[in-house]
Amino acid sequence: MQFKFCHFNFNVLDLDRSLKFYREALGLEPVREKTAGDGSFRLVYLGDGETPFQLELTWLRDRSEPYDLGEGEIHLALYVDDYAAARARHEEMGCVCFVNDAMGIYFIEDPDGYWIEILPASR
């Protein structure tokens, strides 16, 4: 029996704002979507165009309160081929929330408070 990664989910309050963030910050684009017949939820799966892994953004119509992210220790990690350019873009966007220069990594925060670790591809 073999298991393979498929996708990871983030619940979001404002789907359009999140889609814009993930497109601008990470170049992720929608690869498939599902909308409930009654409009109660919408799922948008984002891909990087390179790997089969997807980030699922879930929007729930009746949700208006921010999600409880626990202690904030859960995060998504992405490699980038041009670490310096990515960091400059994220600094300009104002979404860098933590930097660890000693480890050569930094984190950005999405509109709902999820942290995304950025690593150089050369690691």
Q: What is the residue type of 32?
A: R
DSSP helix/strand/coil, 26: helix
- Gap between the Cα atoms of 123 and 112, Å rounded: 28
For residue 40, give the H/E element and its range. Answer: none
In the Cβ-directed half-sphere of 60, how many Cα atoms lie within 13 Å?
Answer: 9
Q: Name the active-site residue from 50, 65, 109, 117.
A: 117
- Gap between the Cα atoms of 29 and 44, Å rounded: 9
Q: Is 117 a catalytic residue?
A: yes
Name residues whose C-beta falls within 8 Å of residue 22's C-beta, 6 or more positions apart in sequence. Answer: 28, 46, 55, 57, 110
Active site residues: 117
